[in-house]
Amino acid sequence: MRISQQPLVPSSTVPAAISAQGLRRTYGNVVAVDSLDLDVAEGEVYGFLGPNGAGKSTVVRMLCTLASMTAGSASVAGYDVAKQGDLVRLSIGVALQDAALDGKLTGRETLTLQGRYYGLDRDAAVTRIEELAPLLEMDAIDRRVSTYSGGMKRRLDLAAALMHNPEVLFLDEPTTGLDPISRAVVWEQVRSLNRDLGMTIFLTTQYLEEADALTHRVGILNHGLLVAEGAPDELKRTVGSDVVVARVAANPDLAAQAIGQVPGISHIEVYGNEVSAATGDGASVISPVAVALSAAGVEVTDLSIHPTTLDDVFLELTGARIEVEE
């Protein structure tokens, strides 16, 4: 049950749920985010993809009014982040990277209290907890959060972010550290929120498959700069439909030179002892690549072909791979 991969490109007919112009944040001399322009349409699932330290969380913290902007401007749900912080906070739900929960409260107390922060009375909180039951392990809802597993905490955190039916939901690395089953549950709920409730979702992730599976559009962030933006398929097409990867024992530059001579190869990237070559038709070029490497005297330890991934896009744009850290 995949969501549509059709991009929801913001236009004059679809109001922007999130908009930023020239967003910049520095910490001393360190520039965490620079010159970021962003438009996320209402009802869109937008993903920020990038390695740890790329600035993804900093952007989320600024848009959620948690961190101030050094420069630039932004609006969320139609409200100015810098000047109308109260209204922004009424309109958003946020689940940050680390599930920030009070271990001494039970799951139900956590949600009820979260509801109170958003002006929900007791009856409304009870109703919302029932509605959010699919996210929760109701058997454990009256247990203290300190007894929960990591996956249960993350789902409770997500449920807390949804207590007040936010217009815009921010998810900062929602599945980092989760087991595959919990990850699948979170994915399904994200899809459901967007598909069934039309919720705008802004998520950050370091998982390529997550960005691929969940988002309408992806922004690739590296060292605080937005280096590419578009629908995942659109971005992958810019690299090619297939990638031939040759791992060599030595001389990767010589290998790259040899592969570059093969007709049909469009881009070549060297990353350590790995040479990646983008092509429109992997099946037809893999044999010539093997021959070219052999003729050049390069010792090949592995030669493979795979469809283009967002990691290949990232490699093409930045010369580095996304190192996933759990």
Partner 1 sequence: MSETALSRPAGGEVIRARPSGFLGDMASVASRALRLLPRDLEAIIPAMLIPLFFLVVTIGAIQNLAGDVVSDIDYKAFQLPVAIMTAVTGMSRANSLVIDISEGYFDRLLMTPVNRYALLLGLMVADFTLFFVMAIPVIALGFAIGVSFGATGVVGLLVFVLFGALWGLAFTGFPYAIALRTGNPAAVNSSFLLFFPFMFLTTAWVSRDVMTDWLAAITWFNPMTYALEGMRSLFSGWDGWALGRALLAIGVVGLLAQTLAFRSLRGRIRRG
Residues of this chain that interact with partner 1 (CB under 8 A) are 61-62, 64-68, 86, 89-92, 94, 96, 98, 100-102, 104-105, 109, 113-114, 116-120, 124, 127-128, 131-138, 160, 162, 164-166, 185, 188-189, 192-193, 196-197
- Measured from the CB atom, the residue of 98 and 233 that comes closer to partner 1 is 98
**Strands 200-205 vs 168-172: parallel, antiparallel or unpaired:** parallel
**Does residue 23 contact residue 33 with C-beta atoms inside 8 Å?**
yes
The C-alpha atoms of residue 85 and residue 107 are separated, in whole angstroms, by 28
For the bound state, the minimum distance from the C-beta of residue 154 to partner 1, rounded and expressed in Å, comes to 13
For the bound state, the minimum distance from the C-beta of residue 68 to partner 1, rounded and expressed in Å, comes to 6
**Does residue 162 contact residue 132 with C-beta atoms inside 8 Å?**
yes
DSSP 280-310: S-HHHHHHHHHHHHHHTT--EEEEEEEE--H
The C-alpha atoms of residue 103 and residue 80 are separated, in whole angstroms, by 34
The C-alpha atoms of residue 288 and residue 292 are separated, in whole angstroms, by 6
For the bound state, the minimum distance from the C-beta of residue 24 to partner 1, rounded and expressed in Å, comes to 14
**Does residue 105 contact residue 61 with C-beta atoms inside 8 Å?**
no
For the bound state, the minimum distance from the C-beta of residue 87 to partner 1, rounded and expressed in Å, comes to 8
SS3 323: coil
- Which residues, 6+ apart, have CB-to-CB distance to 133 below 8 Å? none
The residue among 257, 267, 264 whose CA lies nearest residue 297 is 257
Q: Across the beta sheet with 300-307, what order do the strands follow?
A: 265-271, 274-279, 242-248, 300-307
For the bound state, the minimum distance from the C-beta of residue 322 to partner 1, rounded and expressed in Å, comes to 24
**Does residue 316 contact residue 255 with C-beta atoms inside 8 Å?**
no
DSSP code of 5? -
The C-alpha atoms of residue 18 and residue 77 are separated, in whole angstroms, by 6
For the bound state, the minimum distance from the C-beta of residue 73 to partner 1, rounded and expressed in Å, comes to 16
- Measured from the CB atom, the residue of 161 and 235 that comes closer to partner 1 is 161
- Measured from the CB atom, the residue of 28 and 263 that comes closer to partner 1 is 28
For the bound state, the minimum distance from the C-beta of residue 156 to partner 1, rounded and expressed in Å, comes to 12
- Measured from the CB atom, the residue of 119 and 272 that comes closer to partner 1 is 119
- Measured from the CB atom, the residue of 197 and 283 that comes closer to partner 1 is 197
Other beta carbons less than 10 A from residue 317's beta carbon: 16
- Measured from the CB atom, the residue of 182 and 318 that comes closer to partner 1 is 182
The C-alpha atoms of residue 192 and residue 40 are separated, in whole angstroms, by 19
- Measured from the CB atom, the residue of 105 and 320 that comes closer to partner 1 is 105
For the bound state, the minimum distance from the C-beta of residue 215 to partner 1, rounded and expressed in Å, comes to 18
For the bound state, the minimum distance from the C-beta of residue 286 to partner 1, rounded and expressed in Å, comes to 41
- Measured from the CB atom, the residue of 102 and 253 that comes closer to partner 1 is 102
- Measured from the CB atom, the residue of 114 and 279 that comes closer to partner 1 is 114
SS3 223: coil
Angle between helices 282-295 and 252-260 in degrees, nearest 10: 130
